[in-house]
Chains A and B, each alone.
Chain A
Amino acid sequence: EAGVTQFPSHSVIEKGQTVTLRCDPISGHDNLYWYRRVMGKEIKFLLHFVKESKQDESGMPNNRFLAERTGGTYSTLKVQPAELEDSGVYFCASKASRPGELFFGEGSRLTVL
């Protein structure tokens, strides 16, 4: 069974540019989460999808961040325009049912110069 995959693994962009991160959850997992870790600090919740619906997006920093989950399968997280403080590692995780363990991808490291 394939795990959670994220793409790209590392992205380096200039301030003001746009980046789109992608997450493919484990097949059949309705729950999909995005998290971010900045400079070794806490793993901060961004949002939670249940199938294609945004269940909780209270952690999204601002309207420069847009997440979608097409057809309840893969998800994208777009940052437009990127700012310096957006740098960090973005993790995606999926879960089959609640409550239960989360399965994480390897993360997408974003560097904004």
Chain B
Amino acid sequence: SQQGEEDPQALSIQEGENATMNCSYKTSINNLQWYRQNSGRGLVHLILIRSNEREKHSGRLRVTLDTSKKSSSLLITASRAADTASYFCATDPNSGGYQKVTFGTGTKLQVIP
């Protein structure tokens, strides 16, 4: 089954506004990660939050994790045109064996200057 479904699928905001993206997943996790993909480029890791953490900050990024609801959110504050990209959450499962890190469909963010 697919893990990591992002919501909304697309988001358009003005520069300076905040952008919030949500991610829901289905099974237990060890950690959840957020990635950014600029058009035509590879994915870049943004932030990792472990299952025993509830909130994490990195610069203008704020990630929350609610394991009881199996959901996470990524907040980008004071957005810039350069933040225009697709954002993906990825789940790293809680398992003693090796399992796949799975991604969702992503949220396409457009920041209008």
Contacts and interface: CB of A to CB of B under 8 A. Distances in A.
Interface string B62-89: 0000000000000000000000000010
Contacts of B88: 43
Q: Is the interface of B mostly helix, strand, loop or mixed?
A: strand
A91 B42 CA distance: 7
Interface stretch (A14-22, A67-75, A103-111): A103-111
Interface residues of A, number: 28
A36 to B, nearest CB: 11
B103 A50 contact: no
Interface in B77-108: 88, 90, 92, 98-106
Given A98-B30, A104-B42, 11 more contacts: A42-B105, A42-B106, A43-B103, A45-B102, A56-B98, A99-B30, A101-B48, A102-B101, A104-B44, A106-B41, A107-B41
The range of chain B's interface size is 20 to 34
Contact of A98 (B45, B98, B103): B98
B40 to A, nearest CB: 8
B31 interface: yes
Nearest to A89: B40
Nearest to B88: A43
B33 A101 contact: yes
B42 A48 contact: no
A45 B93 CA distance: 14
Interface string A37-74: 00001111100101000011011000000000000000
